[in-house]
C-alpha cells in the first residue's frame, strides 16, 4: 500500500471515528429504585411504576421532561436497582427524585440510599458525572439517607415545607428568578410545597422562596451536582394546562435541561 493510499485510509478512519463520537448521545438515567412507587394498571390490573417516571403520562409523571431531554439530543433510560459502578459508567446524568418513605414504597418498605451507593455516586461525580437530587417536602420524602448522599457535596435538605398553596391560589407557589441566575433566565416559576436547602463549600445557593434557599449547585472534582427541594418539572406544571400563563415552568425546564447537558461536555 503506497503512502497516498495510507494517508487516504487514515483520514477516512479519523473522519469515521470523529463522526461516530459526534453522534454519541448523552445518557440520562432516572432512578427507579429509591423512588419505586407502584400502582395497579386499570386496564391490565398489573402493578406498574408511576410518579416521576419517564413513562408516566399522568399529572405526576415525567413523560414531558423525557421528551425535552430527547429533543435536546439525549438518550433516556431508567435504573431499577441501586447504582453500581458499571451502571454509572454508562451514564452522563443520573437523577434521583423524591426518595421513598415506607408509606409510598412498593411493599411498604423503602429502598434507602446505602453507603455503597453513596461511594459509587461520589466517585462517579468526581470523575465528571452530573448528579441531580430533587426531594419533596416534609412528610412526602425520605431525608435522613438522602442527606447522607447530598452531604458529600455540601448540600443538606431540610425536613420542612415552604410555598404552601391553598387550593388554586397559585401565587403562593411562585419562585421569582432574578437576572444573572446561573441556570435560568429572569422569570416566574411555580414550585409548590418545597423543602429548603442549607449549603456549605463546595455548594452554593441557587433559588429562593419565601426568603429561604431552595436550590443549590456544587462543583465536585470534574462533575456537577444540582439540588432542588421539589420535583418541580412534572407534567402537571409544565403542560400549560393548569398554571396561569405568567408562570414559565416549561421554559424553565428547557433551560435547566440544556444546562445539565452542557455540564456533561466535560466528562
Choose the weakest-confidence range: 73-77, 91-95, 135-139: 135-139
Judge whether 131 and 121 are in contact, CB under 8 Å. Answer: yes
pLDDT of res. 204: 98
- The residues with which 174 forms a beta bridge, in sequence order, are 190
Residues 6+ apart with CB under 8 A from 244: 170
Residue 266 has pLDDT above 80, yes or no: no
Residue 16 has pLDDT above 60, yes or no: no
- The residues with which 75 forms a beta bridge, in sequence order, are 27
Q: What tens digit of pLDDT does each residue of 159-204 get?
A: 999 999 999 999 999 999 999 999 999 999 999 999 999 999 999 9
Calculate mean pLDDT across residues 121-128: 98
pLDDT of res. 265: 73
Judge whether 64 and 239 are in contact, CB under 8 Å. Answer: yes
Amino acid at each position: 500500500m503506497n503512502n497516498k493510499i495510507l494517508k487516504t485510509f487514515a483520514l477516512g478512519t479519523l473522519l469515521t471515528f470523529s463522526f461516530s463520537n459526534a453522534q454519541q448521545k448523552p445518557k440520562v438515567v432516572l432512578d427507579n429504585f429509591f423512588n419505586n412507587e407502584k400502582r395497579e394498571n386499570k386496564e391490565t390490573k398489573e402493578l406498574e411504576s408511576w410518579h416521576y417516571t419517564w413513562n408516566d403520562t399522568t399529572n405526576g409523571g415525567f413523560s414531558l421532561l423525557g421528551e425535552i431531554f430527547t429533543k435536546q439530543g439525549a438518550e433516556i433510560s431508567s435504573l431499577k436497582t441501586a447504582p453500581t459502578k458499571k451502571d454509572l459508567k454508562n451514564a452522563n446524568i443520573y437523577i434521583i427524585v423524591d426518595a421513598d418513605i415506607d408509606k409510598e414504597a412498593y411493599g411498604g418498605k423503602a429502598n434507602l440510599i446505602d453507603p455503597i451507593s453513596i461511594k459509587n455516586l461520589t466517585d462517579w461525580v468526581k470523575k465528571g458525572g452530573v448528579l441531580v437530587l430533587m426531594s419533596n417536602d416534609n412528610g412526602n420524602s425520605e431525608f435522613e439517607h438522602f442527606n447522607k448522599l447530598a452531604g458529600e457535596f455540601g448540600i443538606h435538605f431540610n425536613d420542612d415545607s415552604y410555598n404552601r398553596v391553598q387550593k388554586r391560589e397559585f401565587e403562593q407557589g411562585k419562585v421569582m428568578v432574578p437576572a444573572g441566575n446561573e441556570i435560568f433566565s429572569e422569570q416566574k416559576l411555580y414550585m409548590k410545597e418545597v423543602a429548603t436547602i442549607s449549603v456549605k463549600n463546595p455548594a452554593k445557593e441557587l433559588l429562593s422562596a419565601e426568603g429561604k434557599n431552595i436550590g443549590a449547585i456544587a462543583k465536585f472534582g470534574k462533575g456537577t451536582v444540582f439540588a432542588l427541594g421539589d420535583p418541580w418539572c412534572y407534567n402537571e406544571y409544565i403542560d400549560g394546562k393548569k398554571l396561569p400563563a405568567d408562570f414559565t415552568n416549561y421554559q424553565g425546564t428547557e433551560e435547566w435541561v440544556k444546562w445539565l447537558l452542557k455540564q456533561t461536555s466535560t466528562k
